[in-house]
Amino acid sequence: MKQFKSSVHIIIMAMTMALCTAFSALAEFGPGAVTEDTVIYTEVKADRISDPIAEKLGKTMTSQLTDQIILVNDHNLTLWNRQSDGSWEKDMDVYCGYGRNGLKPYNERKEGDQTTPIGSFPILHSFGFGSNPGTAMTWREITENSYWSGEKATYNTWVESSTPVGGEHLSEYTICYKYAMAIGFNINPTVYKRGSAIFLHCKNPAEWGSAGCVSVTEDNMLTLLKKCHDGCYIMIVPNEDYISNF
């Protein structure tokens, strides 16, 4: 009989502790907050956090042209992907460098002023040394004959030539152009001397500043390549208030 009473006592204690734990958990939500939909609501609340930049991107003209945007907001580079419900989700967030003389509106920039153009531009393709490192973007391999032309007839285009071409001899930039993306600045139409060879590439080991390109560390550039696909755009702005312009 004593053994039976002891067992009943243990069961009652266990049930009491379970009920206390349950009521403590429910108390966190406050009176009237718990319904049959509570579990669904809390999961959605945890997963959906409003992001003001995501909301701004979703209202831009660029968002109607692509499902993937690289956003350069001053020295902050983020990658955004459009979701099936139309919202934009951030997938990457890193520091970046740009022109030594800062940012300038794309239609005011001139060749040699060492500024990075403000605006929204398509990524034309990716490129670098060796075979495709794992990107879904079109990849072009640099050869000894690869140039980015600064000559009037072929200004701001990739040229393969066995004779020297004015502009940049791509094979000389073994560190910065190990992994890179060509930014579609100054195309359709191309304005001679407005600027050429504006890329997103690996950082110069000596400095973050550039002649006009955007730069990230080599590891981050490789990661970005592996996350991006053809049709991606890059938006370059000095602050988030500019996003709505593009």
Q: What is the pLDDT of residue 34?
A: 38
Q: What is the pTM of this model?
A: 0.80
Q: Do the bridges between strand 76-82 and strand 146-149 make them parallel or antiparallel, or are there none, so unpaired?
A: unpaired
With CA atoms as reference, report the closest residue to 80 among 210, 240, 212: 240
| Structural domains of the chain sorted by starting position, each given as residue range(s) with its CATH number in brackets | 2-47 (no CATH), 52-245 (2.40.440.10)
Distance in angstroms (rounded) separating the CA atoms of residues 181 and 133: 13
Please report, in tens digits, the pLDDT of each residue of the chain (246 residues total): 444 444 444 444 545 444 444 444 434 444 444 343 433 333 333 344 569 999 999 999 999 999 999 999 999 999 999 999 999 999 999 999 999 999 999 999 999 999 999 999 999 999 999 999 999 999 999 999 999 999 999 999 999 999 999 999 999 999 999 999 999 999 999 999 999 999 999 999 999 999 999 999 999 999 999 999 999 999 999 999 999 999
Say what the alpha-carbon torsion angle 239, 188, 199, 227 is, to the nearest 10 degrees. 80
> What's residue 25's pLDDT?
42
Beta bridge partners of 172: none
